[in-house]
Structure 1
């Protein structure tokens, strides 16, 4: 079973975006996502996650004289 909801994607592409079937099927999933206005990339790193990473991976530079 595919992870794509094909009926919903086809409806969004063909009906909502007005694509012709050949145009729809020529798109990559990433291109369709952009056309549908989905956010790209990962969400920015929030302060809480940064703090957790800093605690898990402390900067040890300067902890000894090696530099």
Structure 2
């Protein structure tokens, strides 16, 4: 299964580069890890297209879940 993340590289960066413990590494969200690694993407403002991409990648509920409220 390829979900777009290079887990070996991310683990090396987090565990060896940042010196995180495994528990601390796995407790991070992708956005938190990106911020800690110093990504330049955080310098640009998020526009509606970026928000839509995040909402699609990390939905609040599953597509087949029915809204009871």
Q: Distance in 2 between matches of 1:4 and 1:41?
A: 22
The aligned counterpart of 2:8 is 7
Match of 2:44 among 33, 42, 45: 42
Cα distance in 1 for residues equivalent to 2:43 and 2:7: 23
Computing the radius of gyration from Cα coordinates, the structure with the larger value is 1
Q: Higher helix proportion, which one? A: 2
Which contiguous aligned blocks of 4+ residues in structure 1 show a shift greater than 4 angstroms? none
Q: TM-score, normalised by structure 2?
A: 0.58
CA root-mean-square deviation: 1.4
Q: How many residues align?
A: 43
Q: TM-score, normalised by structure 1?
A: 0.60
User: What 5-or-longer segments of structure 1 have no aligned partner?
Assistant: 44-67
Gaps of 5+ in 2: 46-69
